[in-house]
Structure 1
């Protein structure tokens, strides 16, 4: 963007407690499996404004203190028995990158530059045998710090852990705990605990739950690839946003006395059934696992795939909401397990049924800041057809570009955007036509609105279709 920038590297020394070596955690194994299957970095990265008056020295001191407080940020990979392990260092040195942009640059262009740097680091691969898991940069314009770019490797954080670290730095809207919770587990202890008999039994129960869902699934959730792709590419990512669906989902949640996550799951299942004929839907649901003792504020990747099945055929949308709620509770209960153990059981089931099979639909509600507002925020006016109509003009669907590869046929993420149902989506257009994919996404709004205005609204999905 700029013809010339200057970059300096400020050394940041740190020291902290909790050093040692331990096996990888189940969450780390799950992330590494995702990295292998997708080829993506899975980094967490973004740019944040710097308050007026903050100096490079202050940011460097905050960086050092952050590394000292959290052993997970001092973790690198080592070689253990049979594969990688985690190694947390007591001391070390990293750098704070200070990037100077031209004085005559427009502030809006500087903000774009900071965003682009965050995005570039999002896509940069770490070598966690050598690199520290956190990178930090500040952008300086006209002698003043204006933006900070923070990038963290997914092997040490999930969405909740990232929010906790941002709060620790004063970059999020939630207060930092002043008294540490003594139950909070550190990343090395977590890896050790997961090798003990009590947690091995937790994994055993979870894998048995998975086996019940995997035993009779088809080779792929949406059938074998048949179409040629879109514009010469099979995998495409896009965005769908619907403020009208947001109003409708909130109304359904209030009426059915559940939360918006369960309603969205049900609405998506119905929309999938209408567009593809697949019902019941067997899908992977990303679960945070934060409800377990000592996990709420742990700096560690704790999210793993749960598995559920939702039948949307020959019933009402409200009934599917009830089914989705029950299925999601079970998925959450059995989403903490050793991925290596699940892989062994999956291979055995493949041999028993006589063909390899996998669940190729994944759903992730990763809202953090907006979920609570959607669930418990004030409901000002009743949801009416007129109110929905006024917001429906704001609905949009765009395809942003192709991807080289995706292990799923469909991946839907509910994003943290206020007052809208905002979906980041990836489709395999070898299995969906473009018309099918668009009908599915616009069907999310259609199903939600129908059910918001009519408690008896039918799903219009027929039994006996090609479900998993």
Structure 2
């Protein structure tokens, strides 16, 4: 498929690209997102080819590969034109095309991108009995983050799928311009303010996040998910009473469970901030997400008070998550050296729900309704791995009409039993809080581990 679009050249990485690049260096993986979905009957290969050409021509991030300077510094290299293949996979007559599509999705995700030579888009269709049945696509995080993927999907409304014609100009600040903007005095002031907050926190938080795990496993990193209709209902009651979004409530509950599990208060979590509220970024198909620290004291207070503290911490973090990650890495090294200990900041919280993050609408559920929903909770264990990750990483998944969340832990920090207790405990805390505004967090002030 031939494509051509506005903007080309070699520029500095954007701060969002640097953040994704740093994460890739730590994990050794491209950290891609995408999926496999069924297509409406009658969809043609030509329509999907038009879609591929459309997104490649409109969005610089999808025409970007990495260029390494002589000293090894990566830069973004945006091409103005090129060619990309749409893979067509024929499923055998006796094969399930959905299974073929899922296997293809897994291969796309598990195979690292060649970021120097490969376009950051993998796209395919599955053909079964001569008709197109499924669509598969994958994009690395250095090209687009979760909100960038949502912006990409929204921009498809500007494509005439039959002809490939563009129905509106592309919106949002593109990566080449982002890099240039990040050299302006206004951006440097934002960067400096963000790093001042980081430095204050790095110098005052306890260096350790976890106690030694009583059950270290091999493979080392474990993952489990929990689906909780009861939490979804309970959030409506807590949100109505506390007058906050459901995000801070979930964050507060996670902070409480971490403090109970690790014996470490305040809870210190890196939250991922979209940065989409900044001018020109809402519709940008690019990588803009960066992390900021939330330090939440959940001791000697009610859960409602913990929610208020989480909301305040989350709001402040959101205003201080736009900075050059290289300077943060330098700052962390300097503070570690001056404190004489490595300060652990590798505990993450990521709310992926975006546009579906509202509480359930309608009347606040009754206590009987909540109790009836509790047995519907389902725990799912994922495959363990030795691919390095954070000590603890909680994802709130984008699943409608329920709360679905995934916890990935280093079993040298948190045991599998503690992991399950955290997953079930998050549900329990929020359900108990739904009808008890005086509910205590159950966390007492304690000396920080050293």
TM range (shorter): over 0.9
Corresponding residue for 1:424?
406
- 3-state secondary structure, aligned to 1:402: coil
Corresponding residue for 1:415?
397
CA displacement, residues 36-92 of structure 1 (integer Å, 9 cap, x when unaligned): 112232111211222222221222122112211112211111134741111111110
Whether the aligned pair in 1 keeps the contact of 2:407 and 2:423 (CA below 8 Å) is no
Q: Note if 1:386 corresponds to 2:372.
A: no
Whether the aligned pair in 2 keeps the contact of 1:220 and 1:360 (CA below 8 Å) is no
TM-score in terms of structure 2 length = 0.94
Give the alignment of 1:331-350 within 5 angstroms: 331-350=317-336
**Alpha-carbon separation, structure 2, partners of 1:115 and 1:342:** 38
Whether the aligned pair in 1 keeps the contact of 2:221 and 2:389 (CA below 8 Å) is no
Aligned structure 1 segments of 4 or more residues deviating by more than 4 angstroms: 177-182
Corresponding residue for 1:4?
none
CA displacement, residues 321-356 of structure 1 (integer Å, 9 cap, x when unaligned): 110110000100001110001111111111211112
Corresponding residue for 1:94?
84
Mark the CA change 1:467 to 1:288 in structure 2 (over 3 Å): closer, same or farther: farther
Corresponding residue for 1:242?
228
- 3-state secondary structure, aligned to 1:461: coil
- 3-state secondary structure, aligned to 2:256: helix
**Alpha-carbon separation, structure 1, partners of 2:142 and 2:414:** 32
Corresponding residue for 2:162?
none
Mark the CA change 1:384 to 1:273 in structure 2 (over 3 Å): closer, same or farther: farther
- 3-state secondary structure, aligned to 2:382: strand
> More displaced, 145-154 or 399-408?
399-408
1:288 to 274, 293, 300: 274
Whether the aligned pair in 1 keeps the contact of 2:249 and 2:307 (CA below 8 Å) is yes
Give the alignment of 1:111-126 within 5 angstroms: 111-126=98-113
Q: Which runs of 5+ in 2 are unaligned?
A: 159-165
Mark the CA change 1:180 to 1:328 in structure 2 (over 3 Å): closer, same or farther: farther
Corresponding residue for 2:28?
39
Whether the aligned pair in 1 keeps the contact of 2:296 and 2:313 (CA below 8 Å) is yes
1:433 to 415, 423, 434: 415
**Alpha-carbon separation, structure 2, partners of 1:92 and 1:253:** 50
Whether the aligned pair in 1 keeps the contact of 2:225 and 2:423 (CA below 8 Å) is no
1:17 is displaced (CA, Å) by 1.0
**Alpha-carbon separation, structure 2, partners of 1:73 and 1:156:** 6
1:131 is displaced (CA, Å) by 0.5
Q: Note if 1:21 corresponds to 2:13.
A: no
1:361 is displaced (CA, Å) by 1.1
**Alpha-carbon separation, structure 1, partners of 2:110 and 2:398:** 20
Give the alignment of 1:220-369 within 5 angstroms: 220-223=208-211, 225-230=212-217, 232-369=218-355
1:180 is displaced (CA, Å) by 4.6
CA displacement, residues 403-442 of structure 1 (integer Å, 9 cap, x when unaligned): 2143421100000112222111111211223332222221
- 3-state secondary structure, aligned to 2:209: coil
CA displacement, residues 259-288 of structure 1 (integer Å, 9 cap, x when unaligned): 000111111111222233221111100110
1:228 is displaced (CA, Å) by 4.4
- 3-state secondary structure, aligned to 2:444: coil
1:384 is displaced (CA, Å) by 2.2
Whether the aligned pair in 2 keeps the contact of 1:368 and 1:416 (CA below 8 Å) is yes
Corresponding residue for 1:50?
39
Corresponding residue for 2:426?
444
Count of matched residue pairs: 442
TM-score in terms of structure 1 length = 0.90
2:55 to 66, 83, 90: 66
Whether the aligned pair in 1 keeps the contact of 2:209 and 2:262 (CA below 8 Å) is no
- 3-state secondary structure, aligned to 1:266: helix
Alpha carbon RMSD of aligned pairs, Å? Answer: 2.0
Give the alignment of 1:137-176 within 5 angstroms: 137-169=124-156
Corresponding residue for 2:191?
203
- 3-state secondary structure, aligned to 2:376: coil
2:202 to 182, 190, 214: 214
Q: Note if 1:131 corresponds to 2:118.
A: yes
**Alpha-carbon separation, structure 1, partners of 2:36 and 2:315:** 35
- 3-state secondary structure, aligned to 2:126: strand
**Alpha-carbon separation, structure 1, partners of 2:232 and 2:447:** 29
**Alpha-carbon separation, structure 2, partners of 1:454 and 1:151:** 44
Mark the CA change 1:178 to 1:91 in structure 2 (over 3 Å): closer, same or farther: closer
